[in-house]
Structure 1
Amino acid sequence: MKKRIPYVIFLVSLLSLTVLCGCDKSTKSAQEKQEKTENQEQVTKEETDRKKNNTINLYYLNAQEDGFKKVSCKLQHSDDPKEMANEVLYKLSDTENNNTDKYKASIFDGVVINDVNVSRGKATIDFGAGYIQLSHTQEVLLRTSVVKSLLQIQGIDGVLFSVNGSSLLDNDKMPVGLMEASTILTDDGQADIYSAKKKVKMYYTNETGDKLIPYLTELTVTDNVPLETQVLLALKNPPASKKNLKSPLPSDFYVNQTQILNNICYVDLSSEVEKAAVNVKEKVTVYAMVNSLADLDTAYQVQFTIDGKKISKLNEFENFDALLTSDFSLCK
C-alpha cells in the first residue's frame, strides 16, 4: 500500500491541474464573450443615442470622387422619416454649399429627385431621366452614398430606386431591388465598388481592314474609368484567340475623356488617332468606335473631338465633327 501512495498523489495532482486548466480556459472564454457582448452593446447604444439625437453621418464624395467622406450632420426634422430623408437627399445634392476641397456632393448635377416615399421601413427614391446619363461608376457612388446615409434614420431599413416611376435596372436589365445594410460593400463603401461585369459588343476589323466584325465579350469595369473609355481602349486589343480580328485603331491611340450627356457620347481623343492603323480605312476606324459605343445603350450619337477641338476631317473621313450614329453597312 505504501508503494501506491505516490502514484495516487500523482493522479490527484494531475486531475487537479486538469480541472484548473479547464476552469482557466472557461473563465478566459467567458471573459472574452462578455467583452464582445459589452462592445456590441456599446456600439448599439452609441447608434441608438445618435438616432435619438437625429445626428447621422452623411456620405459625400471625397475630393477625388473615388470614395466617400463622412460628415456628421444633425437633422432638423425629428419625427417624420420622410422629411428626414428629404433633408438628407437635399444635403447630398447641395453642390453650392458642399462642394469643397475636401468633399463633394454625391447626387450629381443633372440628377433630379422626383419623389421620396417612406412606407413600412422602406424608402423609395424616384429619380428623373438625368439619372440614366450617369456612368456606371457614378451610379454606384450615388446609390451607395444615399443608402448608407438613409439607413441611419430610424424607421428606414432599406432603400428602393426608380427612374420616372419605373424600377431601376442593372446592367443585365434586371431590377436592382431593395438595398439594405447587407448590400453595402464595406464600412466606407470603397472596396470593389467599381467592379462590375458588363457584356459589350465590340466592332473589330477583318484582316484587310475594310469590314467590321462584331464580337460579343465581357468587360470588367474597374476604378473610376468610364465604361465608354474602357470600350474604346479594348478596341486596341482584340482577343488573342481570334486570329481573324484586327484592331481598327493605331497602336498608340489614347482616349482623353468620355462623357454622356443628353443621349450623346462626347469623346475627346488624342491626336494619335490621326495616324491611320495599318491597312485600315478611316471610315472603318470611325464606325468601329461609333458602333461599339452606341451598342452600350447609354447614348445614341457620338461627338468626336481631338485634344478638345472639333476636327471636320479625319484624314479621308469627312464630317468627323458631326453627330454620328451607328452604321452597320460595314459589318461583314
Structure 2
Amino acid sequence: MNKKIILVFLLLLIATFSFGCDKKSSSDYKIFYIDIDVTKLIPQDYKPTSTSDKKKLIKELLSQLREKPDNTEARQTIPNNVKINKVSQSDGLVVIDFNKKYKELSTTEEVLCRAGIVRTLLQVNGINKVKFTINGDELLDLSGNVVGYMDEETFVDNPGEQINSIMTEEISLYFANEDGNKLVKENRVVHYSSNISKEKLIMQQLLKGPEKKGLLATIPKGTQLINVSVSDGVCYVNLDETFKNQNYEITEPVVIYSIVNSLSQVDEVSKVQISINGDTSGNYRYNYALSKMYAPDFSLIVSNKED
C-alpha cells in the first residue's frame, strides 16, 4: 500500500515538474491592448490556434493586436493606418518594419504601442528581443537616439514588475569622459512606470551606464540600488558593497558628482548622501566621507568629444 502511495506521489511530482518546464502552454498568452484613455496597457487572455510554428504564432499575435478587444475599456494596440511592411525573426530576435504612419503616433501612444507589442511577443518561446524600424530605418527616440532592441527590462520598474501605466521624460545623466577626470552630460529619453519616483528613475538609468560613445560608467557594473529616498532636501542613496569595486582610472570626485549632479535635477533635492549597505561610516576611497552630504558641483562638466 505504501509503495502504491509513493508511486502515485512520484507520478504527480513528475507531471507537475513537466508542466512547469513549459514556458507557455497553448492557452496562457495575453494580448496587451491600450486603454481608451491612452494611459496604460490592459492585458487580455488569448488562446492561439497553434504554438508549434513560431513564425505563424508571431503573425497571429500581431494580427490580434490590430483587433478590437472584448474589453470595452481597451482599444487596439496597432492603429489601422499603421501598416507592417515586414516581420523577420532569427536567433531569438524579431524585427518589425512599419510604414511611415508609425511616426505620426503621439508620444504616449507610441510608447504604449511599443510596450504592448514587445510584451505580447516576448511570451513566444525563444523570442528574447524585439526591434522596430520605419521603412527600413532605425526607430529613434525624442532625443534622436536609436531605440534598438527591446526586451523584458525595457518596460519595467523593479525586476519582475512590468510597467502598465507609462510616462515619458527626458533626464540628464552625468558620466565620466574617456580620461576619467571630468563629467559629460548625456540626455536620455526614458519610459517609466507612473509610480516610480524620479530619484529612483535617475539612479536606475545611471546604473545602466552611458549610451553615448566616448563615455565611461562611473558606478561599477553589477552594483545594486538598495533604496533611494528624499527627505528635507536631502537624497539618501543606499548602494550595495559592489560600489566599492571601483575603476581607479576614474577619479573620486567624478564618481561622487556623477551621482550628485544627476540627482540634483529632482526639484526637492539640494544635497545627496551616499551609503554602502546602509553604512555611512568611513570614506569613499580616501577623501570623500560617507557621512557628509554633497551639494552639486558643475565645475567638473565638459562637452563630449563625440558631440
TM-score of the two chains, using structure 2 as the length reference: 0.47
Give the helix-richer structure, 1 or 2.
Answer: 1
